[in-house]
Amino acid sequence: MKKYIILSLMTLLMSSCAEQITRIAQYPKMYEEKPLTIAVMPPINQTQHVEAKDYFYTTLYAPLCEKGYYVYSPMMTMEMFQSESAYDAEQFIEADLSQFRNVLGADAAMFTIIKSWKRNNIGGKITAGVEYILRSTKTGETLYRREGLIKVDTSVNGGGGGMFGALASLAATAINTAATDKVVAGRKCTVFVLSDMPEGKYSTKYDQDQKLPAGKSYVKATVK
């Protein structure tokens, strides 16, 4: 019986290792084109929260910079996008992107689709469902694509025991969740989902992460 258990565990371990995909295997186009500059497109909002588009737009700049890319500031490009009718990114998600290369000099354009956004004050959770698509402005090909359903945990432990302690924690959680800035929650979602994105030229890890494991194309997680 013991031998069967050991064999089963070894089989599970080997299968899990076999299923692990490297970043260069998952995102080969990223390593072929090696984009340096990224234009952040206004998010495509599929939720009932009309303000989600604007506040999520501002969350994308810093995480992409931290990955080692030169990112055109959304504040700088917003006026241009509006004048060129590009503020509705739906028109460009499958269209020719050469104009962004010619005008801005961007190597790639990052599209985001906000599919869900829920806030649970009592439960202490903000849940965001977002898909990230990076397309080449040169070839039009998709270089990187990943989707996440991320819960941002805003719960607070009051530390006290008994009924009053539980009520205090519940109240503190509700207040903390309500007060959590939408931009903060959106940024945490972006940082987590883009965690396996190949590093850009301005990162110290540039061209050294090909063999690192890539994440699943769809990820569900809770972050604090």
Identify the sign of the CA torsion 27, 38, 117, 53: negative
| 3-state SS class at 111 | strand
Per-residue pLDDT at 53: 85
Nearest to 219 by CA among 195, 203, 201: 195
Instruction: Please check whether residue 208 is in contact with residue 24, taking contact to mean a CB–CB distance below 8 angstroms.
Output: no
Per-residue pLDDT at 150: 93
pLDDT at 78 over 70: yes
185 pLDDT band (50/70/90 cuts)?
A: confident
Domains of the chain: 27-205+218-223 (3.40.50.10610)
| 3-state SS class at 134 | strand
Mean of pLDDT values over 96-104? 92
| 3-state SS class at 27 | coil
**For the chain, what is the mean pLDDT?**
82
31 pLDDT band (50/70/90 cuts)?
A: very high
> Using CA atoms, how far apart are residues 78 and 91, in angstroms rounded to an integer?
16
Average the pLDDT over each of 42-56, 69-83, 189-203 and give the range with the smallest value: 69-83
Average the pLDDT over each of 22-26, 72-76, 215-219 and give the range with the smallest value: 72-76
Mean of pLDDT values over 189-193? 95
> Using CA atoms, how far apart are residues 118 and 96, in angstroms rounded to an integer?
33
Phi, psi of 179 (to 5 degrees): -85, -15
Beta bridge partners of 40: 110
Per-residue pLDDT at 85: 66
Phi, psi of 62 (to 5 degrees): -60, -50
Instruction: Please check whether residue 144 is in contact with residue 24, taking contact to mean a CB–CB distance below 8 angstroms.
Output: no
CA count, 13 A, side-chain hemisphere, 111: 26
Instruction: Please check whether residue 140 is in contact with residue 96, taking contact to mean a CB–CB distance below 8 angstroms.
Output: yes
75 Cβ neighbours under 8 A, 6+ residues apart = none
CA count, 13 A, side-chain hemisphere, 42: 23
Across the chain, how many H-helices and E-strands are there?
9, 7
